Chain A
């Protein structure tokens, strides 16, 4: 637990002091969502119809934007070489890094979502529900993304490869997340239990497994 908190606090401190990077992701999310009404037109009926897709796809792009930086600085400054020789399981380090990454990039998106959802014409109740869904999918995107990011760090073509490899894995998350909000709009929040259960089960599988996979990949990358 000590090592988990140490890496979590180090990454939070370090990234919070690098304000440009920290602010970039939520600003990108807001701009991406705002662009849709500008392109489609201000009719609330049309916007609320496609709002679930707009919110989910925009959060997916915003999450992707931050993923490249997740492990690259630790590789370039040699931190991983030293960490591997520490008496700490690497999977714990990975869990700490992914958690810090989610707090800095995923959590802000979930907190902004209710305002953007209301702007797109959704009711207050659905806006809060959308926020919960974005909260859940950003966890999954951070976990799946971390796995891909650890694979591509030494390729020199990180961002392009990351996007190419991540999108196919993000598709089920996108479908079920947008579906959950759609079903809630049509028949109330109780109507979207099935997609929520799918997203929860995906999270509960990825949470313990991904840090172990990332640890194995990073060890292989350092060697």
Chain B
């Protein structure tokens, strides 16, 4: 049995049919790249897997979790940054480190891995959108979690930052992690990825 299985999933929000008849499986050590046009339901599907939305039909099974609501094995990084503009990069990451109940040493590791050293004491409001994106993604390294759910993480990243981030994701997957990524650039992700086209 696969680690995450989605069977015959569909989602209706308001009166709108967002996506339907989606089936997928993801195992430990795999990347699932969700592709599709704008508005085809990629974000809604990711939110369904993360447990924020209930599917209108179908079922998601995560093999080690009985209760989707109480999962603490998922990192979800959406299109919003979850960062406070008035706080510095370090203050924001320290906050999330406490929320994730993780080791404070991981903050320095995350800052270094995402090349945020020089701006670690700058307020988020003074950073570019690419730097904010890197800071938001740095939360992934604060606490170890098996499943990374990422909504268009490549947006606003320059080539260097993007390559660095792809290495981080590849490393996570090599260590038996799972990455589920909504992306408009499926070609940038490692060759052994699974593609899921919706819409």
Contacts and interface: CB of A to CB of B under 8 A. Distances in A.
B50 A85 contact: yes
A82 B74 contact: no
A81 B99 contact: no
B53 interface: yes
A77 B95 contact: no
B80 A77 contact: yes
A85 B53 contact: no
B127 to A, nearest CB: 14
A88 interface: yes
Given A78-B82, A85-B75, A6 B99 contact: yes
Interface in A61-117: 73, 76-79, 81-88
B100 A81 contact: no
A190 interface: no
B interface majority secondary structure: loop
B86 A82 contact: no
Contacts of B71: 85
A157 interface: no
Contacts of B50: 81, 85
Contact of B72 (A9, A18, A78, A86): A86
A187 interface: no
A223 B81 contact: no
B99 A86 contact: yes
Contact of B74 (A18, A73, A76, A85): A85
A81 B82 contact: yes
Interface in B44-74: 50-54, 71-72, 74
Interface string A141-170: 000000000000000000000000000000
Interface of B: 50-54, 71-72, 74-87, 91, 95-96, 98-101, 123, 139
15 contacts: A3-B99, A10-B84, A10-B87, A13-B86, A14-B86, A77-B84, A78-B81, A79-B84, A82-B76, A82-B139, A85-B51, A85-B72, A86-B100, A86-B101, A87-B101
